[in-house]
Amino acid sequence: MAKFEFKKDPSRKKHKHIQETEIIEPTETFSLEDFSKQKEKEEKEKKKNEKSKENSNQKKMGRPRKGKIYSTIRIQRKTVHRINAIQNCLQFPTQDDLIDALLDKAEAQFDAHQNDMYRMYMLTYKAKDERKNNQSY
């Protein structure tokens, strides 16, 4: 068999010599103890910030009762004053209790047609609320 000879092209560039990369020691290494101390400091700062935020927001009106779902309605300030005055006058513990009692009184005065319409609206709103709750999960 014939022996192959490979001839290099003289116009071909010669490769530059690559210097070996020196291994450098890191200036700082990871320490679990230092990391845990740093995390503790951050948590303490967060707690301090939360406490200061809570102190600045002390004007909150109240806390919702457990097991109840709340919504917000927009009413004029003069109506709010009327509700609060009636609540204090009739000694209801909450605005919710007062409004619930007043609505019960109004429902008792419905005629047959209004009662049917009321029940239909309530079924519609309950179904809408259930659909909304099921979609959010």
- The domain locations on the chain are 74-129
The tens digit of pLDDT for each residue in 81-136 reads 999 999 999 999 989 899 999 999 999 999 999 999 999 999 999 999 888 888 76
- 0.75 surpassed by pTM: no
- DSSP-derived secondary structure for the chain: -PPP-----TTSPPPPPPPPPPP---SS---HHHHHHHHHHHHHHHHHHHHHHHHHTTT----PPTT---------HHHHHHHHHHHHHHT-SSHHHHHHHHHHHHHHT--HHHHHHHHHHHHHHHHHHHHHHHHH-
